[in-house]
Structure 1
Amino acid sequence: MRDLGVGFKYLLRGQRWVVRHGKQFGFGLVPGLITLVLYAAALTALALWGADFTAWATPFADDWSSPWLGLFRGFLTGVLFALALLLSVVTFTAVTLVVGQPFYDSLSEKVDRDVSPDGTAPESGLPLWRELVISTRDSIRIVIRALIWGVLLFALGFVPFVGQTVVPVIGFFVTGFFLTEELTSIALQRRGIVVRDRLVLLRARRTLVWGFGTPLALAFIVPFVAVFLMPGAVAGATLMARDLLGEETREEGDEESGDPGPADPAHFLNG
């Protein structure tokens, strides 16, 4: 349970870091704003025409009597919008990171240099186009897994009582894990750590991941909040990645040094 607090600490430290480095914060807002406009347009369209889509998808209910027809299609429309909102929370980070790969990679590298005892940061050595290809491919894999979880939770949502109480809680923890996986991938990819090994790192310290990602998932429900928290989330995820790999982190100001975990970085780097 201690790791829950440590994970949340990294989320706060990341936000403090970008506040102290205003220029990085400003640059980090650009990709989030672009993605926000795209998602807002999609959700607005769903809100306007979701009922029409539900009616088109359920022709078998056309002859139902009132009020059952309205209740049935109203319920499905609400569920559809709720599922779209959940998926937007999960995929917002993936899309924003792809759009803002150069911005966030630079931000993450500056965080590494700032907190590293020797002032250096790992570099992938890959050209930008190659990093974009890898980032996009990995994001698609994560989104596919998130969609599978989303469909499963959507189905469980129909279970009486459990679907209205336990399932939403599980949903936020699952979303938090996927958000953290996406955000830490920036720093871990620069270290040459592949997706499989990233998952081993994160699953080994799930409570740390949940402490970081679950509060972020709750905050990301509000689109404008997601945009303003993204730069700090990337910075905090970089700090947490150093923790996961057991890298030494220099103390700065009133911040504590990272809380290194038991992982051996050589094991993951060597696959």
Structure 2
Amino acid sequence: MGNPWLSARARANPLSDLLSGLGLLITGAGLVLRRARLFGLGLIPPLITSVLFVALFATASFLSQRIAVWLTPFADGWPGVEALRALVSLLVIAISGLLLVLLFTATTLALGAPLYDRISEEVDAHAGNYNAAPSESWLHALWSTLTLLLKVVAITLPVGLLFLLVGLIPVIGGVLAAIGSALFGGWMVTLEMIGSPAGRRGIRTLAQRQRLLCRDPWLVLGFGVPTFLLLSIPALSLLLFPIATAAGTLLTRRLVAR
């Protein structure tokens, strides 16, 4: 008998799963909006962290042209050097956005952990019973949060560099880099968003969460890609955190039941 953590369930209709993942966001919105007080409190952490991350993104955008020149010293004297560096500058902005969205998500979830845990717990209670694992100590939970942030950076930086290089491929590179960034960003955001409900079930490490998501990749991407794209829009990201927390809890329940 195979290890259930290592086997992804074969799906007959990926499109149906993608739509189901998107539907979880809609269902999560309905659940959270019926809890107006928790929804309002859930807006506070992203309001605080968004100020910092918008400033960081503005700084990265401002420096992108200089970074492009630094990355392409070999192009000095080329006829199309300005066009090349403009493309590299855009790619630097896009990859910076990818990294900052993922760090913004992890930081906001850490800052608002008690609030988002409360939202997740209420959704779990509404949806039915589950097998709860013993709680972590606050010190261990803090250490897990810090290591998660470091792992997100360690994973995203080389992947972002890869997308930067792919984006330099003539004609199709920009499209491939954009699609890859959305898929990667959606997957990583989902790893972060399921942290609270997965942790209550004893699924606490990044590797354990990864194996859980692999049970139904299409469902995960249907939830994660729209969440990532919406989190990339500062005004919408404020509203999305409590909604995505509720939807991530529903997603966790569905994946654990596989």
Report if TM-score (shorter chain) is over 0.5.
Answer: yes
Q: CA deviation at 1:152?
A: 1.4
Q: Matches of residues 89-128 of structure 1 in structure 2 within 5 Å?
A: 89-116=101-128, 122=132, 124-128=134-138
Change (3 A) 1:121 1:108: farther
The correspondence for 1:27, drawn from 41, 47, 53, is 41
Q: Matches of residues 6-21 of structure 1 in structure 2 within 5 Å?
A: 6-21=20-35
User: 2:88–2:164: 8 Å Cα contact kept in structure 1?
Assistant: no
Q: Are 1:215 and 2:226 an aligned pair?
A: yes
For 2:106 and 2:59, locate their aligned partners in 1 and report how far apart those are by CA, in whole Å.
Answer: 21
Aligned residue pairs: how many? 243
Q: CA deviation at 1:153?
A: 1.6
User: 1:153–1:171: 8 Å Cα contact kept in structure 2?
Assistant: yes
2:245 matched residue in structure 1: 234
For 2:80 and 2:141, locate their aligned partners in 1 and report how far apart those are by CA, in whole Å.
Answer: 52
User: 2:45–2:112: 8 Å Cα contact kept in structure 1?
Assistant: yes
The correspondence for 1:79, drawn from 62, 73, 91, is 91
Question: Per-residue CA shift, 1:147-200, capped at 9, x if unaligned?
Answer: 222221221111123312233222211111111111012111122113222211
Question: Per-residue CA shift, 1:211-240, capped at 9, x if unaligned?
Answer: 101111222221111121111001100111
For 1:55 and 1:138, locate their aligned partners in 2 and report how far apart those are by CA, in whole Å.
Answer: 33
For 1:83 and 1:21, locate their aligned partners in 2 and report how far apart those are by CA, in whole Å.
Answer: 36
Change (3 A) 1:124 1:15: farther
Change (3 A) 1:76 1:161: closer
Q: CA deviation at 1:90?
A: 2.6
- The TM-score, its normalising length taken from structure 2, stands at 0.84
Question: Per-residue CA shift, 1:102-125, capped at 9, x if unaligned?
Answer: 2212221122122225xx883642
The correspondence for 1:202, drawn from 208, 213, 232, is 213
Question: Per-residue CA shift, 1:5-50, capped at 9, x if unaligned?
Answer: 2211111111111111111111111111111100111122233344
Change (3 A) 1:209 1:34: same
For 2:69 and 2:119, locate their aligned partners in 1 and report how far apart those are by CA, in whole Å.
Answer: 46
For 2:175 and 2:87, locate their aligned partners in 1 and report how far apart those are by CA, in whole Å.
Answer: 18
User: 1:183–1:237: 8 Å Cα contact kept in structure 2?
Assistant: yes
Task: Provide structure 2 residue ranges, at least 5 long, that are not aligned to the other structure.
Answer: 1-13
For 2:68 and 2:175, locate their aligned partners in 1 and report how far apart those are by CA, in whole Å.
Answer: 25
The structure with more radius of gyration? 1
For structure 1, which segment, 175-184 or 91-100, has the greater mean C-alpha deviation from structure 2 after superposition? 91-100
1:255 matched residue in structure 2: none
The correspondence for 1:183, drawn from 169, 193, 206, is 193
For 2:228 and 2:97, locate their aligned partners in 1 and report how far apart those are by CA, in whole Å.
Answer: 12
1:3 matched residue in structure 2: 17
